[in-house]
Structure 1
Amino acid sequence: MESKNTIKAIGMMSGTSLDGLDIAAVEFSEHNNKWSYNLHEAVTIPYNNEWKKRLETAHLLSGIELTALNTEYGIYLGEQAAAFIEKTKFATDIIASHGHTVFHQPENGFTLQTGSGAHLAARTKCTTICDFRTGDVALGGQGAPLVPIGDRLLFSEFDYCLNLGGFANISFEKNNTRLAFDNCPVNIVLNPLAEKFDKSYDKNGELGRQGKVNAPLLEKLNALSYYQKQPPKSLGREWIESEFLPILNEFDIDTTDKMRTVYEHIAIQITKDLSGKGKMLVTGGGAFNSFLIERMQALTSTKIVLPDAELIDFKEAIVFAFMGVLRLKEQNNCLSSVTGARKDSCGGVIFLP
């Protein structure tokens, strides 16, 4: 008979870089207050051009159009989850869906992840948990990053956990307190630059490697006020558009030089937050970028650890599945030390099928 301390969960994650929808089937076990996980199966479903465009431009929609998108995207998520369950025969207890971020303005008291949980639950006939960020924002927090609860409870053997996605975010313990924040942009800036060469991303950093660092551009990027701010802090698309891109567009230089400079900027911003000791787990799409990893390792003596490809690709989906499990058990899954909220909280809205 299965122990009641074992819960099966499906995690669904759509990142800012719009690579696709990550779905992970995970079994979590708790023994003596220690959690472990077993990843059964995981898949990335690339967005077709229509979905990519709709999600990319969602922030420009009217209220009624955005409400329609929320429903249609919820149905889409439900269809993908139902097909995944059918194919894998994974008898899940819950589905935990991050949704796709349209607005993230915690300073104004709101954040919006689209993808209707009610429609997802109805389509899959599974208890569905979504909207993990809003509760923390209501408590005065950033609503991000959320993955550190997983870093603390599932990946405690590492001194640092770094995710390289649309943005880089890092998480670590300091004086028995979990700290985490967004370091800087990564693929949300690199991918559009690669598109100028008709590539969706810069594989292994090959394009950036060809360029030269532009010192004035690097200096300006490093001087952005966000980097002087103390955590808790987080980044969103709005910041890229208002702060980062105007500086990048000011410089009329080769695109490869822009890319090379952005790589150096990323490596500097990430490694300045490391002590030079211990080891750092690196996951997310950027972990496959050998040039970026090289530049980071050149600037720090903290050992960079690249796990297997499945964990690189699906760590965030695994952790959102775990956040759903904690929500179901009514345990805290948002850490105020990370987000700046008034207190730790148990985030997520539950939809019954």
Structure 2
Amino acid sequence: MIKPEYNILALMSGTSLDGIDIIYVSFSYDSQWEFKIHKAETVKYPKQWQSILSQLVKMPMHQLKQVDLEYSEYLATVILDFINKNTIKIIDFIASHGHTALHQPENGLTYQIGNQQILSDKLKHKVICDFRVQDVNFGGQGAPLVPIGDRLLFSNYDYCLNLGGFANISFESNDERIAFDICPVNIVLNHYVSKINLEYDNKGQLASTGKVNHDLLDQLNKLQFYKDQPPKSLGLEWVELNIFPLIDSYKLQIKEVLRTYLEHIAIQISEILSQENSKVLVTGGGVFNEFLMQRIQHFSNSEVIIPDNEIVEFKEALIFGLLGVLKARNEINCLKSVTGAERNHSSGKILIPKINY
């Protein structure tokens, strides 16, 4: 049913495994989309779930399906806690991205766990989820999906750049929205600081003490992915195949790895920000890496704009909420110009709670 306003819960779990972003948000439409975030929280993963989620790509399918069920149940408990803690009464539906287990669009495969019927049954609410599968079935990359939200909610910026597990960007070009993954970010940086028992490099302080290994930097910048034209997207599998073995072959100190890889990120991003005097909205956890932000600004002529923390931290959850709203209205939420699918479409799966008589 088409409504002028929707009150929904939206949640997102990214590849950096820092936790589940969950928001309670209202969307309204009157010639353009507006939103208001009422409550927002990142629920940190317990060590057990962090460990499980970091191993998903190595699991056989029968084990992955079992984890999918368990993770769906876990998400339900997280959502119920959030609802109860914030005494939320009005919910039209819940929009959930789930957590990406496998992403191999070139093989016609993408698998997000946490989108099982049990999620809707336990919550006793409609759930709109699993936004990537249909796009891959239509020959698309199934990613990135955020650009439709960039177009509808943040059109006053020339570029929308997100720095999470991966850097991705979206912008208008010849009246089409173009978007793609640029390079891995926190998925690599956090991997290396974990070797010295840190969750992340606070403000990039450790990286700033290292020296750039120019030979490694050159090899990173020569990787084939950076020569490929969009649409294109990245997953953990690609990182494990191309990034980790290359870096590890140099046997560098952690601070040298961080410094070199951070320089690589800044260079790859700046090459995309080609429009002179453009405004770039930057969001995602990478924003808090002050040294990384300095290096991006160093290589770029664009005005780098960091919004309020609420948008920095919860923009992806916000936009997956909007994807849910568009699906509920049977409106386009997936752009072929972004993913390479055969057509624009309204993607997602709708779960209705089963009634026990």
Q: TM-score category by the smaller chain?
A: over 0.9
The Cα offsets for residues 13-61 of structure 1, whole Å up to 9 and x where unpaired, read as 11001000110111000002x1010001111110011111111112222
Alignment of 1:55-94 (within 5 A): 55-90=53-88, 91-94=90-93
- Residue 300 of structure 1: how far off its partner (Å): 0.8
The Cα offsets for residues 39-96 of structure 1, whole Å up to 9 and x where unpaired, read as 0111111001111111111222233322221111111111111111122233110101
- Residue 244 of structure 1: how far off its partner (Å): 1.2
3-state SS in 1 of match to 2:111: strand
Partner in structure 2 of residue 311 of structure 1 = 311
* Partners of 1:103 and 1:202 in 2: CA distance: 27
3-state SS in 1 of match to 2:263: helix
Give the TM-score taking structure 1 as reference length: 0.97
Partner in structure 1 of residue 241 of structure 2 = 242
Q: Which runs of 5+ in 1 are unaligned?
A: none
- Residue 147 of structure 1: how far off its partner (Å): 0.3
3-state SS in 1 of match to 2:196: coil
- Residue 276 of structure 1: how far off its partner (Å): 3.0
Give the TM-score taking structure 2 as reference length: 0.96
Q: Give me the CA root mean square deviation.
A: 1.1
- Residue 253 of structure 1: how far off its partner (Å): 2.0
- Residue 4 of structure 1: how far off its partner (Å): 3.1
3-state SS in 2 of match to 1:264: helix
Partner in structure 1 of residue 182 of structure 2 = 183
| Contact 1:268–1:296 (CA under 8 A) maintained in structure 2 | yes
- Residue 257 of structure 1: how far off its partner (Å): 1.0
| Contact 2:276–2:301 (CA under 8 A) maintained in structure 1 | yes
* Partners of 2:267 and 2:61 in 1: CA distance: 40
- Residue 109 of structure 1: how far off its partner (Å): 0.4
| Contact 2:13–2:97 (CA under 8 A) maintained in structure 1 | yes
- Residue identity in the other structure for 1:23: I
- Residue 251 of structure 1: how far off its partner (Å): 0.6
The Cα offsets for residues 253-306 of structure 1, whole Å up to 9 and x where unpaired, read as 222111101011000000100123221111110011100000000111110001
- Residue 124 of structure 1: how far off its partner (Å): 1.0
**Where does structure 1 differ by over 3 angstroms across 4 or more consecutive aligned residues?**
none
Q: 2:35 aligns with which of 19, 37, 59?
A: 37
- Residue 200 of structure 1: how far off its partner (Å): 0.6
* Partners of 1:161 and 1:37 in 2: CA distance: 17
Q: Which runs of 5+ in 2 are unaligned?
A: none
| Contact 2:144–2:179 (CA under 8 A) maintained in structure 1 | yes
* Partners of 1:306 and 1:265 in 2: CA distance: 21
| Contact 1:9–1:322 (CA under 8 A) maintained in structure 2 | no
